[in-house]
Structures are given as structure tokens and as C-alpha cells.
Amino acid sequence: MFQRLVVAAFFAFSGTLCAQTVAHATGVIATPEVAIGYETFGARGAALPVIAVNGGPGLSHAYMMMNDLWEQVGRHRLTILYDQRGTGASKKLAAGAAQTMDAQVADLEAVRAHFGIEKVALVGDSYGGFLVMAYAAAHPEHVAKLVLSDSPPPSFKTMVHLLPQTFPDIEEEDAVAGKKLGEDSEAAARLGLRNHFRMIFYSPEKRDAYMAKMGDLGFEPAVGRSVGQSAEALDLTQAVAGFQFPVLVITGRWDMNVAPVNAWMMAHAIPGAKIVFFEESGHLPAYEEPEKYRRVLEEFLDAR
């Protein structure tokens, strides 16, 4: 009897483990200009699929993978992340391939089309928020819901950025180091990235834990400069005022990189948009408050 109970318990436990396992896959999408590397969690089902779009520009999606948030989201829906052209697993570019916002939008459309998703939820983090706004303006027919997470506003010219006022010591340290290394050098750009991450957290403990394992995040400074210049020239103000799908705006209360007033103004400029503040977060609430982030995100995605 005892042996039968042990065996039964083992199979019950094994079944629980199997039930908790989330499908995980990586692959490449071939397009005329770039081979786009992607990563997925979960599988297609009744729940609305998600494409999570990272910020930068010039970073891979590695910075979004410092916890298991997207794996958790993948327990209930197909969740797709990918590396933007020229970064991470998407470095295989055709000669002369553009590094513009139009190219970024075309790549996101290629990802959607590859998975055959007619309507998708887009989650844009930081610069990724600007990219998904640009995509939604170009392809509204494929957007079911939109999440703008600590996103720049629809025009970079109106962005309120408070790092120099909040961290003058780190800004000065970075400027001095940049002059020593050469302001346009690769070394200065990479040091500048690390200094930037020193300023974007609410919790010093979470900042230190993140930075201890962050590595180079697939950073490509030249890509960042080119895409950044293209983004700065684009004004999506009129486009977002015409969005007809549900929009959720997320902001860390202590985000000095993209100050909360940017989120506040966007939420009031987009018809029917909802805004949620994360009271113990800086620029990365998905990392600093992941449980709340997942709850807020899933409630929005599942709402009828």
C-alpha cells in the first residue's frame, strides 16, 4: 500500500511539473533585409497573443530577460520577443540595409506576419513604446491592444527627461569619462550605457542586482545613433489621437529617464487610455515590481 501511494504521489507531482512547464522556442525570420532572431514563450490558444518590444534603440531584448516575467506571461498566451535589426540575434543584415523607423516598423510587421497573428497585443518598453506607436499608426488593423511602458511621448521634442537634474554627479562623471575616452568612441558609449542604468532604478538593491548580471545587453552604439536620429524626426502626435483600440500606459513613479508627466500627457491624448503608476519603480517596473506588472498587464489583456 505504501509503495502504491508513493508511486501515485510521484506521478501526481510529475504531472504538476509538466503542467507548469512553459513552451520555449527560438528561431529566425528571414526577410529581404535582415534575419530577425526571436524568442517565444507559451503557445497559441484562446488568449490574445503578445509581442513585447524592447527599448534602446541599439539594445537587444536581453535587458527584458533579467527575470522570468515574460515566461510567466507565456503561461497563459503566446508571448513573442525579438531582437531589432543590427542587434543580438538579428545582426545578419543585407548590404545597405536601412536603420530607420520605417525599417523598424517593417521588421515588427514581419514578426507579426511570420506567426500568422491577425490581431496582436503590443507591449512597448521604453523606446519600444515609441516603436509600437509607429507600428500602430501604420498598421492599426493588426493591433488589438497597445501597452506603452515608460515610453517616450509621440514626439521626442516634447519629452521631459530629468536625469541631469536628478543625478548631476553621475552625469558629470560620465561627461568627464567620455572626454577621456573620446566622446564618439565605442568605449565611451558602452560606459555611458552602464552609467545610464545606474540612474534608472528606484531601489538601489535591485539596481545593483540587475547591473551585476546585465553584461553588454547586445548594445550596438551605431545602431542606436542611426535609429535614434530617425525617431527624433518623427512626430506621432496626430496619429495617437486617432487610436481606436484599448491602450494602457504604464509608468514608474520615480522614472527620471522618461518622467511620469510624459505618461500622463499620453494617457490624456489617446482616447480612452488607462494609466497605471508603479509606486516603487523607476524606468523598469517590469523588473522592480514584476508581480504587480504581470497582474496589471494580464488584467488589461484579458479585459473584454
- Determine, yes or no, domain membership for 173: no
Residue 16 has pLDDT above 70, yes or no: no
Residue 58 has pLDDT above 70, yes or no: yes
CA distances from 304 to 144, 156, 272, 299 (A): 11, 33, 14, 10
Residue 44 has pLDDT above 60, yes or no: yes
Residue 32 has pLDDT above 50, yes or no: yes
Question: Which pLDDT band, with edges at 50, 70 and 90, does 182 fall under?
Answer: confident
121 Cβ partners below 8 Å, 6+ apart?
48, 49, 50, 51, 144, 145, 146, 147, 301
Instruction: Find the CATH number of the domain harbouring 290.
Output: 3.40.50.1820
Most distant pair of Cα atoms in the chain: their distance: 76
Residue 299 has pLDDT above 70, yes or no: yes
pLDDT at 186: 86
- Determine, yes or no, domain membership for 15: no
- Determine, yes or no, domain membership for 3: no
Residue 12 has pLDDT above 60, yes or no: no
Q: What is the mean pLDDT of the chain?
A: 92
- Determine, yes or no, domain membership for 7: no
- Determine, yes or no, domain membership for 248: yes
Residue 1 has pLDDT above 50, yes or no: no
* Of 3 and 110, the one with more pLDDT: 110
Residue 2 has pLDDT above 70, yes or no: no
Domains in the chain: how many in total? 1
Residue 14 has pLDDT above 80, yes or no: no
Residue 137 has pLDDT above 90, yes or no: yes
Residue 61 has pLDDT above 50, yes or no: yes
**What average pLDDT score do residues 212-220 get?**
91
pLDDT at 7: 40
| Nearest CA among 133, 151, 152 for reference residue 143 | 133
pLDDT at 20: 65
- Determine, yes or no, domain membership for 178: no
- Determine, yes or no, domain membership for 195: no
**What average pLDDT score do residues 11-16 get?**
43
- Determine, yes or no, domain membership for 66: yes
pLDDT at 179: 87
Residue 59 has pLDDT above 70, yes or no: yes
pLDDT at 74: 97
Distance CA 255, CA 202 (A): 8
**What average pLDDT score do residues 225-233 get?**
95
Residue 8 has pLDDT above 50, yes or no: no
Lowest-confidence pick of 110-114, 162-166, 171-175, 292-296 = 171-175
**What average pLDDT score do residues 69-85 get?**
97
Question: Which pLDDT band, with edges at 50, 70 and 90, does 17 fall under?
Answer: very low
Residue 3 has pLDDT above 70, yes or no: no
pLDDT tens for residues 245-254? 999 999 999 9
Range of the domain at 240: 21-160+219-302
* Of 105 and 177, the one with more pLDDT: 105
% of the chain exceeding 70 in pLDDT: 93
